């Protein structure tokens, strides 16, 4: 590590600069951490720019007002001196916003305001989410533990120092701080060219990769997207895709049929004919990109990038690694950046889909809420009985309810809709479903593709999220969200396809009244924001 590669130092606030007082809105309760004042004075004397990046969910919870937050900020500066930027996330965890740590939004915003590249920022914090946000943004993290820091967070931190004075000592230990060029990263063979993007599993996974694909499109002349059969409909809606190749990748498809040598030879030939210059292989954290990288090499693709914990040998030019608790969208974007691709100016990195059809004949002119009871994985589905009760409760609350689903869900949607909802099961393709969701006040849905489709069209989500997979990775991204269900149920992190717990307690206990309240809250928030 070279200490003189930094132009700015960004601090977490509570537990790092000042004593952690939960949801503090009282300036009188502000107490600086030991060595904070002297450490900051030394950093200012070195000419470094200073910022604060802090989650402040107390705003969303109503624990304090923005005026009280500003008063606390003023007291911090009174005691510790001025900062060049203050960046706050005002949302709670369920909102799914891109700014809340461990996501990188606050770090990226601070770097942008300071005019400093993220890789020239040092992020100082007291918990693991500070370190994850730093790494996701491409910055360097230093952990200064407190009594609230978990041992696992200390063990995983890239660098640990006992206090802020020791951080400054470390910074100064290699001499004066002077600007240096950005660190070199493996460069593709040409500044622009034809790129292969691979995302070979389900529709929701393809949607989550959309921002990364837009980054590839911005930095290339042509993007070919290789998808599996379950992802093609979503791929058709993604901006930036010039060509789609469909192939059921045996090592990535959720229900593989096996490896057929003739099929493998055919896809290699098809990739050869596409005359591709680079490949970026997007996977979920539990998937290996290396067999696909071998295909790319066999097809003559000269530069291959992927996230891989396994040693890739000659299969990868860019072997990228990321923190575990990173949303899938940001995981994919970090790989695109590592491969040399950035989003175009003005692109906020949220999910997005292309033009959608007119579905007014299906929806009618009146406002409505969508309930989508089906999922691609049974363990993630809310019990039909509970979904039917939710529809009835929404109707009693004065909501018009549309129940959506595929053709294979016809019996399910008919049962859930009953006499209180409007059954659209089997009446929409994927694009039409997107249009129906786009017109809704809100959608009630489990952890499945339509939840991510809702995020892509900006519709608030009541997420009936089974905890078999981590919410931070696969929760609705970048839209107002209320999560319901038991996040600590025994099925947590099992990745089960079929529920391993009798009675499916994570979702069978969802109270329809809670769903009605969540829908009311989300629609009110959207109304106030507009």
277 assigned to active site: no
pLDDT of residue 145: 93
* Range(s) of the domain holding residue 216: 194-338
12 assigned to active site: yes
Tokens matching residue 409: 């869900």
Residues 132 and 232 in one domain: no
3-state secondary structure 455-522: HHHCCCEEEECCCCCCHHHHCCCCCCEEEECCCCCCCCCCCCCCCCCCCCHHHHCCCHHHHHHHHHHH
Domain membership of residue 347 (yes or no) is no
Domain membership of residue 49 (yes or no) is yes
pLDDT of residue 311: 86
63: domain CATH number is 3.40.50.1000
- What gap in Å lies between CA 82 and CA 35, rounded to an integer? 16
Residues 295 and 260 in one domain: yes
pLDDT of residue 196: 97
| Catalytic residue (choose from 7, 14, 92, 130) | 14
- What gap in Å lies between CA 523 and CA 495, rounded to an integer? 32
Tokens matching residue 519: 């829908």
3-state secondary structure 310-369: CCCCCCCCEEECCCCCCCHHHHHHHHHHHCCCCCCCCCCCCCCCCCCCCCHHHHCCCCCE
> Can you point out the beta strands (E) in 24-106?
49-55, 85-89
Residues 207 and 162 in one domain: no
Angle (CA) 93 98 103, round 5° = 80
Domain membership of residue 244 (yes or no) is yes
Task: Count other C-beta atoms under 10 Å from residue 229's C-beta.
Answer: 13
Domain membership of residue 494 (yes or no) is yes
Q: Answer for the pair 216, 340: CB distance below 8 angstroms, yes or no.
A: no
Residues 18 and 166 in one domain: yes
- Structurally, how many domains does the chain consist of? 3
Residues 278 and 247 in one domain: yes
| Catalytic residue (choose from 4, 7, 12, 429) | 12
Residues 117 and 261 in one domain: no
Domain membership of residue 429 (yes or no) is yes
Domain membership of residue 40 (yes or no) is yes
Fill in the DSSP letter of residue 160.
B
Residues 482 and 364 in one domain: yes
SS3 251: coil
Domain membership of residue 36 (yes or no) is yes
311: domain CATH number is 3.40.50.2000
pLDDT of residue 191: 46
Residues 199 and 279 in one domain: yes
Predicted confidence pLDDT, tens digits, the chain (530 residues): 334 578 899 999 999 999 999 889 999 999 999 999 999 998 988 889 999 999 998 888 888 888 899 999 999 999 999 999 999 998 877 666 778 898 888 999 898 888 888 888 999 999 989 998 888 888 889 999 998 888 888 888 888 999 999 998 888 875 444 433 333 444 444 446 899 999 998 999 999 999 999 999 999 999 999 999 999 999 999 999 999 999 999 988 777 778 889 999 999 999 999 999 999 999 987 789 999 999 999 999 999 999 998 889 999 999 988 877 778 998 899 899 889 898 888 888 889 998 999 999 999 999 999 999 999 889 999 999 999 999 999 999 999 999 999 989 999 999 999 999 999 999 999 999 999 999 999 999 999 999 999 999 999 999 999 999 888 888 998 888 999 999 889 998 888 888 889 889 999 999 999 999 999 989 887 665 55
Predicted TM-score of the model (pTM): 0.70
pLDDT of residue 181: 39
Residues 369 and 283 in one domain: no
Domain membership of residue 184 (yes or no) is no
Residues 332 and 451 in one domain: no
- What gap in Å lies between CA 170 and CA 439, rounded to an integer? 54
Q: Answer for the pair 102, 472: CB distance below 8 angstroms, yes or no.
A: yes
| 141-148 own/partner pairs: CB under 8 Å, 24+ apart | 142/167, 142/170, 144/16, 146/15, 146/20, 148/15, 148/20
pLDDT of residue 451: 96
Tokens matching residue 272: 């050869």
Angle between helix 290-298 and helix 261-273 axes, rounded to 10 deg = 60
Q: Answer for the pair 245, 270: CB distance below 8 angstroms, yes or no.
A: yes
Element (H, E) at 123: strand 121-125
Residues 375 and 469 in one domain: yes
Tokens matching residue 22: 């939960």
- What gap in Å lies between CA 215 and CA 168, rounded to an integer? 36
Fill in the DSSP letter of residue 222.
E
Residues 315 and 385 in one domain: no
């Amino acid at each position: 590590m070279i200490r003189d590669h930094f132009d700015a130092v960004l601090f977490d606030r509570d537990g790092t600069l000042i004593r952690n007082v939960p949801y503090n809105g009282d300036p009188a309760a502000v107490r600086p951490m030991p060595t904070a004042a002297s450490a900051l004075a030394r950093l200012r004397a070195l000419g470094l720019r200073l910022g604060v990046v802090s989650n402040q969910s107390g705003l969303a919870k109503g624990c304090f007002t923005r005026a009280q937050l500003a008063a606390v900020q003023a007291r911090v500066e009174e005691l510790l001196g001025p900062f060049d930027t203050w960046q706050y996330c005002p949302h709670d965890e369920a909102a799914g916003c891109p700014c809340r740590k461990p996501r990188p939004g606050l770090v990226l915003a601070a770097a942008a305001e300071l005019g400093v590249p993220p890789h020239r920022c040092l992020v100082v914090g007291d918990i693991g989410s500070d370190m994850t946000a730093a790494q996701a943004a491409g910055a360097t993290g230093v952990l200064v533990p407190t009594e609230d820091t978990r041992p696992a967070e200390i063990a995983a931190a890239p660098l640990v120092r006992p206090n802020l004075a020791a951080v400054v000592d470390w910074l100064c230990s290699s001499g004066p701080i002077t600007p240096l060029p950005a660190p070199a990263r493996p460069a593709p063979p040409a500044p622009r060219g034809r790129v292969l993007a691979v995302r070979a599993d389900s529709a929701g996974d393809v949607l989550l990769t959309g921002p990364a694909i837009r980054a590839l499109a911005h930095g290339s002349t042509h993007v070919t997207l290789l998808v599996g059969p379950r992802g093609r409909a979503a791929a058709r809606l993604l901006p930036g895709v010039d060509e789609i190749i469909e192939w059921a990748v045996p090592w990535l498809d959720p229900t593989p049929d096996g490896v057929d040598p003739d099929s493998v030879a055919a896809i290699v030939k098809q990739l050869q004919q596409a005359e591709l210059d680079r490949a970026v292989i997007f996977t979920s954290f539990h998937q290996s990109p290396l067999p696909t990288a071998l295909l790319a090499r066999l097809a003559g693709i000269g530069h291959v990038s992927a996230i891989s914990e396994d040693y890739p040998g000659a299969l990868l030019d860019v072997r990228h690694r990321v923190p575990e608790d990173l949303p899938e969208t940001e995981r994919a974007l970090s790989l695109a950046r590592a491969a040399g691709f950035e989003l175009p100016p003005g692109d906020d990195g949220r999910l997005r889909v292309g033009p959608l059809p007119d579905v007014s004949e299906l929806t009618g002119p009146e406002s409505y809420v969508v309930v989508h009871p089906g999922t691609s994985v049974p363990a993630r589905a809310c019990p039909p009985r509970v979904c039917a009760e939710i529809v009835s409760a929404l109707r009693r609350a004065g909501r018009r309810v549309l129940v959506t689903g595929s053709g294979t869900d016809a019996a399910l949607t008919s049962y859930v809709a009953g006499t209180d909802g409007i059954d659209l099961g089997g009446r929409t393709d994927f694009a039409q479903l997107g249009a129906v969701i786009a017109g809704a006040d809100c959608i009630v849905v489990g952890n499945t593709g339509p939840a991510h489709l809702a995020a892509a069209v900006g519709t608030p989500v009541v997420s009936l999220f089974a905890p078999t997979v981590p919410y931070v990775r696969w929760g609705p991204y970048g839209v107002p969200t209320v999560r319901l269900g038991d996040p600590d149920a025994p099925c947590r992190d099992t990745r089960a396809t079929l529920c391993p717990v009798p009675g499916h307690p994570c979702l069978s206990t969802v109270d329809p009244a809670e769903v009605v309240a969540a829908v009311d809250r989300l629609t009110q928030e959207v109304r106030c924001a507009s």
